[in-house]
C-alpha cells in the first residue's frame, strides 16, 4: 500500500454531491465514508474531518459511525479483500476449513493483509464474515464483496494465488473482479457500468424454477380469478 | 388447487438479461403502473389489504394495514424505505431477487409510494453485495430514462425520486428503526417505539418500511387482483413466497411456492437430504427462529402453522442440517454472531449474548456441568422480552430450542470430554476424498 494522498478536489466535490442526494445531508454519511475508502484505501483522519466539515457535525460523531460498521477499515486492506463466511451454515459446510486453510496459506490471522511476495502484482487480505445471503451456495467466499460460490479449501487457495499473480478472476455469479477501492466507489453510489456482466441467476437460484418448468407449474391464471373481488377481508 | 410451485417473482430469473428493463417490459413489466395510476391511492391500499399480503421480512405484519397507518393529515413529507438489508443467517431470497429481477422491485416501489403519497423513496441495500447494488442502481437509472420515475410519471401528475443507498455492514440495520438511523447517517441502533415509523420515521416524518419481497409482490397484486393472490397460500397466510433451502440437501436453492407448503414437500423437490444421511435439525425462518427437527416435516410453512409448532415462519430460510452436525457447535456459532452484531444499546442483549457465548463455548469443549444448561435457559429468560429490539429475542431462539430437543447431546459433550462430532464429515466435500 502506497502512502495516502490527500483527498483531491474532485473527491471533495463528490462527497458534497452524495450529501446533496438526501433531504438531510447527514444521510449521506455512510456512502461518503465508502467514497473516502475508495479514494484513500481506508478511513483516514483526513476523511473523517472532511466528512464532518461538509455535514457540519463533529469529527467525533463521524468517528462514532465509522467505528460502528464493519465495512469501514481503519487500517488498509489488500487490493483484494477476501471474506470467508463462517456463520453456522457456511462454517458447517466447510467455511471453517477454508478459513483455516487460507490463514495457514497466507500466514496471517483474521483481518490482516498478506505479505506481498516478490513477483506478486496484487495484495490480498483476509477476514471471516457473517452470513452474506448466499446460503444456497455454501460454503461462500466474498472477494471485494462479489460472490465466490461453492468453494473448497483448494479452490480458495488457487483463487488467492491467481489474484496475487494478477490473473483475471471473475465472480461465480457476477463480473470480473475489480479492486477493493473500485468496489467502494460503487457503494458510494457512483456506478461503474458493469451491471450487465454476469448471469441473472446462479444455478441454485434457479433450482425451483427449473422444477416448475419441468412440471408446467405456474401461478394461477389471472383470468380464472375475478379481477376485482368484493371486500371481505379485514386483513 | 394451485400448483406445488408458483413462480411469480422468480419467473423471469431464467430469461436472458432478466435484469434489463426491456426483458421485464416484454413480459408485461410496468403495466401495473398504469393500472395503479387509474386507481386512487386509498383504493390501492385497500387492494393490498384485501390481498392479505403480510410482510415478507420476517414479522408478517399485514402490508396494507401498515400503509394505512400513515397519517395523511400530517403535513410532513411521507417516505417509503425498502429494507434490503438481508442479513438474517440462512436468508438468501432478496439478494437473488434484486440480482435477477430488480425492476419488479422498482415497479413495486413506485406503486407503493404512490399509495402512501410519498415522493421520495429509499432502497437500503446491505453494502456487502456490490453486484446486487449495481443491478438495482442500473434498474433505477433505466426506470428514470423510460419515464417510470421522476416528474409526472406516465402523465399522472405524480412525482417520485428513488435513492439507492448502500449500508456498511451491520446486521442490526435489518431492524427497521436501526435502519432508519443508518439512513440518517448515524450508528445503527434501534429507536424506542412508540412513536412508530408510520408516525415519526425517517427525519421524524411518516415512513413505511417494507421488505424487498413484500414491495416486489405489489405489482402483481395490483395487476391480477387480490383474489388471484389469495388463490395461493392458506386462509391467513395468503400468496406466494420464496423458500430458501440450504445446507445438507441435494438441490439447495430458491423455491417460490404458496405459503403453507411443508418441508417434506420441499425436500421431495430438492432431492432430499444428502445421500446416506438423515435430517437432524433445521431453521424454518433463519437463525432467530427456534429450531425444528424431523418431527416437524409436515408443519405447514405459513405464519400460523409454524407459530403453532413453537417457532416462527420468519424469512422462510430453511437451513438443513444432517446427522453429522453438532447442534452445540451450530448454536455456539450463531450465538457468537448475535454477540458480534449486538449494537450495545441495551444491557440484556449486550451482556446476555456475551455470557451465552461463554457458557456455550465451555459446553462445546466438554467443560462445565449440567447446571450450565439450566443457567443458559435462565439467561435466555432474562433476555427474551427484555431486550430493546428483536435481536436479543432472536439470540435466545437457537439456545432454548436446541436444549429442548437435544439436551442429551449437550450432556454427551460433558461425558465425552469434548465435542463428539468430526466437523470434516459435515463439509460439502465430505466423502469425496478432497482433503480439507
Select from B62, B22, B11, B67 the least CA-distant residue to B42.
B67
In a domain, A152, yes or no: yes
Residue identified by cell 407503493 is B112
Could you give the 3-state DSSP secondary structure of residue A5? Answer: coil
What residue in A sits closest to B340 (Cα-Cα)?
A130
Tell me the mean pLDDT in the region A41-48. 98
Domain B21-224 class, CATH top level: alpha beta
In a domain, A23, yes or no: yes
- Name the band, by pLDDT with cuts 50, 70 and 90, for residue A232: very low
Residue identified by cell 438479461 is B17
Tell me the mean pLDDT in the region A193-206. 98
- Residues A93 and A147 grouped into a single domain: yes
State the Cα–Cα distance between residues B265 and B427, nearest whole angstrom.
25
Interface test with A, best of B45, B96, B137, B243 (most A CBs within 10 A): B96
Cross-chain CB nearest to B138 (options A93, A150, A195): A195
The arrangement of strands across the sheet holding B279-283 comes to B253-258, B240-247, B317-322, B279-283, B292-293
pLDDT per position as a tens digit, B301-353: 999 999 999 999 999 999 999 999 999 999 999 999 999 999 999 999 999 99
Q: How far apart are the first and last CA of chain B?
A: 47
Binning chain B into helix, strand and coil, the percentages to the nearest 5 are 45, 15, 40
Give, in order, the Cα–Cα distances in Å from A110 to each of A93, A100, A125, B236: 20, 10, 9, 47
Between residues 303 and 362 of chain B, which touch chain A (CB distance below 8 Å)?
A: 317, 319, 321, 325, 329-330, 333-334, 337, 340-341, 343
What residue in B sits closest to A30 (Cα-Cα)?
B185
Residues in chain B: 436
State the Cα–Cα distance between residues B107 and B199, nearest whole angstrom.
25
Domain termination site, one of A152, A171, A187: A187
Q: Would you say residue A175 has pLDDT above 50?
A: yes
In a domain, A227, yes or no: no
Q: Are B403 and B377 in contact (CB under 8 A)?
A: yes
In a domain, A58, yes or no: yes
Contact B251 A189 (CB under 8 A): no
- Name the band, by pLDDT with cuts 50, 70 and 90, for residue A2: low
Average pLDDT, chain A: 95
In a domain, A197, yes or no: no
Chain A CB contacts of B224 below 8 Å? 222, 225, 227
State the Cα–Cα distance between residues A197 and B269, nearest whole angstrom.
31
- Residues A58 and A107 grouped into a single domain: no
Domain B240-322 class, CATH top level: alpha beta
Could you give the 3-state DSSP secondary structure of residue B257? Answer: strand
Position B435 scores a pLDDT of 43
Chain B CB contacts of A87 below 8 Å? 89, 287, 333-334, 337
CATH number at residue A105: 3.40.30.10
Phi, psi of A143 (to 5 degrees): -120, 120
In a domain, A163, yes or no: yes
The arrangement of strands across the sheet holding B118-125 comes to B161-166, B118-125, B78-84, B207-211
Residues in chain A: 235
- Residues A15 and A113 grouped into a single domain: no
Which value does ipTM take for this structure? 0.96
Task: Judge whether B256 is closer than 8 Å to chain A, CB to CB.
Answer: yes
- Name the band, by pLDDT with cuts 50, 70 and 90, for residue A234: very low
Interface test with B, best of A201, A210, A218, A224 (most B CBs within 10 A): A201
DSSP for A86-143 reads -SHHHIIIIIHHHHHHHHHHHT--TTEEPP--TT--S-EEEEEE---S-GGG-S-EEE
State the Cα–Cα distance between residues B56 and B241, nearest whole angstrom.
8
Q: Are B258 and B231 in contact (CB under 8 A)?
A: no
Position B88 scores a pLDDT of 97
| C-alpha A97: how far from chain center | 22
Select from B241, B252, B247 the least CA-distant residue to B57.
B241
CATH number at residue A19: 1.10.10
Cross-chain CB nearest to B13 (options A96, A195, A200): A200
Chain B CB contacts of A215 below 8 Å? 3-5
Chain A CB contacts of B255 below 8 Å? 207-208, 211
- Residues A84 and A158 grouped into a single domain: yes
Interface test with A, best of B13, B14, B46, B92 (most A CBs within 10 A): B92
Q: Are A156 and A86 in contact (CB under 8 A)?
A: no
- Residues A98 and A43 grouped into a single domain: no
- Residues A60 and A142 grouped into a single domain: no
- Residues A85 and A180 grouped into a single domain: yes
For A178, counting Cβ atoms within 10 Å of its Cβ (0-12 exposed, 13-18 middle, 19+ buried), the class is middle
Domain total for chain A?
Answer: 2
Cross-chain CB nearest to B226 (options A146, A152, A229): A229
DSSP for B400-428 reads HHHHHHHHHHHHHHHHHTS--S-GGGGST
Contact A28 B185 (CB under 8 A): yes
Domain hosting A150: range is 80-187
Cross-chain CB nearest to B436 (options A30, A153, A206): A153
Q: Counting runs of H as helices and runs of E as strands, what totals does chain B give?
A: 18, 9
In a domain, A2, yes or no: no
Give, in order, the Cα–Cα distances in Å from B236 to each of B256, B259, B296, B304, B370: 18, 10, 20, 8, 42
Strands B292-293 and B317-322 come out as unpaired
Position B348 scores a pLDDT of 97
Q: Å from B196 to nearest chain A CA?
A: 20
Residue identified by cell 427449473 is A210
Q: Å from B381 to nearest chain A CA?
A: 23
**CATH code of the region B327-423:** 1.20.1440.230
- Residues A84 and A181 grouped into a single domain: yes
State the Cα–Cα distance between residues A208 and A213, nearest whole angstrom.
9
- Name the band, by pLDDT with cuts 50, 70 and 90, for residue A233: very low
- Residues A55 and A92 grouped into a single domain: no
Position A224 scores a pLDDT of 85
Chain A CB contacts of B257 below 8 Å? 208
Domain termination site, one of A66, A91, A115: A66
- Residues A173 and A94 grouped into a single domain: yes
Position B1 scores a pLDDT of 75
In chain B, which stretches have pLDDT less than 50?
A: 434-436
Contact B423 A87 (CB under 8 A): no
- Residues A147 and A115 grouped into a single domain: yes
Inter-chain contacts counted by CB atoms under 8 A, chains A and B: 336
- Residues A104 and A34 grouped into a single domain: no
Amino acid at each position: 500500500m502506497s502512502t495516502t494522498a490527500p483527498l483531491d478536489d474532485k473527491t471533495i466535490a463528490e462527497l458534497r454531491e452524495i450529501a446533496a442526494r438526501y433531504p438531510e445531508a447527514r444521510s449521506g454519511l455512510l456512502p461518503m465514508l465508502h467514497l473516502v475508502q475508495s479514494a484513500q484505501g481506508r478511513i483516514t483522519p483526513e476523511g473523517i474531518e472532511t466528512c464532518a466539515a461538509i455535514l457540519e457535525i463533529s469529527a467525533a460523531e463521524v468517528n462514532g459511525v465509522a467505528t460502528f460498521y464493519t465495512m469501514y477499515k481503519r487500517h488498509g486492506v489488500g487490493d483484494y479483500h477476501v471474506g470467508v463466511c463462517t456463520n453456522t451454515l457456511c462454517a458447517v459446510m466447510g467455511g471453517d476449513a477454508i478459513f483455516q486453510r487460507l490463514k495457514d496459506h497466507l500466514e496471517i490471522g483474521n483481518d490482516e493483509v498478506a505479505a506481498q511476495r516478490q513477483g506478486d502484482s496484487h495484495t490480498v487480505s483476509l477476514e471471516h464474515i457473517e452470513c452474506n445471503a448466499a446460503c444456497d451456495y455454501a460454503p461462500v467466499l466474498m472477494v471485494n464483496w462479489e460472490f465466490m460460490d461453492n468453494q473448497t479449501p483448494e479452490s480458495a487457495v488457487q483463487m488467492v494465488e491467481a489474484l496475487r499473480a494478477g490473473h483475471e478472476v471473475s465472480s461465480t455469479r457476477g463480473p470480473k473482479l475489480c479492486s477493493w477501492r473500485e468496489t467502494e466507489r460503487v457503494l458510494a453510489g457512483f456506478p461503474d457500468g458493469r451491471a450487465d456482466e454476469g448471469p441473472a441467476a446462479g444455478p441454485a437460484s434457479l433450482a425451483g424454477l427449473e422444477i416448475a418448468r419441468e412440471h408446467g407449474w405456474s401461478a394461477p391464471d389471472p383470468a380464472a380469478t375475478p379481477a376485482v373481488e368484493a371486500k371481505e377481508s379485514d386483513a | 388447487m394451485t400448483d406445488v410451485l408458483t413462480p411469480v417473482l422468480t419467473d423471469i430469473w431464467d430469461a436472458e438479461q432478466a435484469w434489463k428493463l426491456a426483458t421485464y417490459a416484454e413480459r408485461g413489466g410496468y403495466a401495473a403502473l398504469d393500472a395503479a395510476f387509474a386507481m386512487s391511492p386509498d383504493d390501492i391500499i385497500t387492494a393490498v389489504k384485501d390481498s392479505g399480503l403480510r410482510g415478507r421480512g420476517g414479522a408478517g405484519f399485514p402490508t396494507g394495514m401498515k400503509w394505512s397507518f400513515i397519517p395523511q393529515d400530517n403535513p410532513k413529507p411521507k417516505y417509503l424505505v425498502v429494507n434490503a438489508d438481508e442479513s438474517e443467517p440462512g436468508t438468501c431470497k432478496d439478494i437473488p431477487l434484486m440480482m435477477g429481477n430488480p425492476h419488479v422491485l422498482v415497479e413495486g416501489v413506485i406503486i407503493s409510494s404512490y399509495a402512501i403519497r410519498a415522493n421520495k423513496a429509499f432502497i437500503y441495500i446491505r453494502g456487502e453485495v456490490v453486484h446486487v447494488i449495481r443491478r438495482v442502481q442500473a434498474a433505477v437509472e433505466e426506470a428514470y430514462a423510460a419515464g417510470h420515475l421522476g416528474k409526472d410519471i406516465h402523465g399522472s401528475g405524480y412525482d417520485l425520486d428513488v435513492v439507492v443507498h448502500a449500508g456498511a455492514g451491520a446486521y442490526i440495520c435489518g431492524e427497521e428503526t436501526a435502519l432508519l438511523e443508518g439512513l440518517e447517517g448515524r450508528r445503527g441502533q434501534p429507536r424506542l417505539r412508540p412513536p412508530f415509523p408510520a408516525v415519526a420515521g425517517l427525519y421524524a416524518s411518516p415512513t413505511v418500511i417494507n421488505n424487498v419481497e413484500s414491495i416486489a409482490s405489489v405489482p402483481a397484486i395490483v395487476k391480477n387482483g387480490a383474489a388471484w393472490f389469495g388463490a395461493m397460500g392458506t386462509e391467513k397466510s395468503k400468496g406466494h413466497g420464496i423458500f430458501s433451502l440450504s445446507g445438507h440437501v441435494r438441490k439447495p436453492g430458491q423455491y417460490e411456492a404458496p405459503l403453507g407448503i411443508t418441508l417434506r414437500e420441499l425436500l421431495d423437490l430438492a432431492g432430499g437430504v444428502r445421500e446416506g444421511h438423515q435430517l437432524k435439525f433445521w431453521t424454518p425462518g433463519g437463525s432467530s427462529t427456534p429450531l425444528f427437527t424431523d418431527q416437524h416435516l409436515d408443519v405447514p410453512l405459513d405464519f400460523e402453522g409454524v407459530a403453532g409448532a413453537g417457532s416462527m415462519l420468519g424469512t422462510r430460510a430453511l437451513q438443513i442440517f444432517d446427522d453429522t452436525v453438532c447442534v452445540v457447535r451450530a448454536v455456539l456459532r450463531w450465538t457468537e454472531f448475535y454477540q458480534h452484531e449486538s449494537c450495545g444499546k441495551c444491557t440484556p442483549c449486550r451482556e446476555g449474548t456475551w455470557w451465552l457465548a461463554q457458557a456455550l463455548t465451555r459446553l462445546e469443549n466438554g467443560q462445565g456441568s449440567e447446571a450450565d444448561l439450566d443457567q443458559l435457559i435462565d439467561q435466555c429468560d432474562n433476555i427474551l422480552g427484555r431486550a430493546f429490539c428483536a435481536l436479543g429475542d432472536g439470540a435466545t431462539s437457537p439456545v432454548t430450542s436446541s436444549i429442548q430437543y437435544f439436551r442429551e447431546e449437550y450432556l454427551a459433550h460433558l461425558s465425552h470430554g469434548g465435542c463428539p462430532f468430526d466437523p470434516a464429515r459435515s463439509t460439502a466435500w465430505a466423502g469425496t476424498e478432497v482433503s480439507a
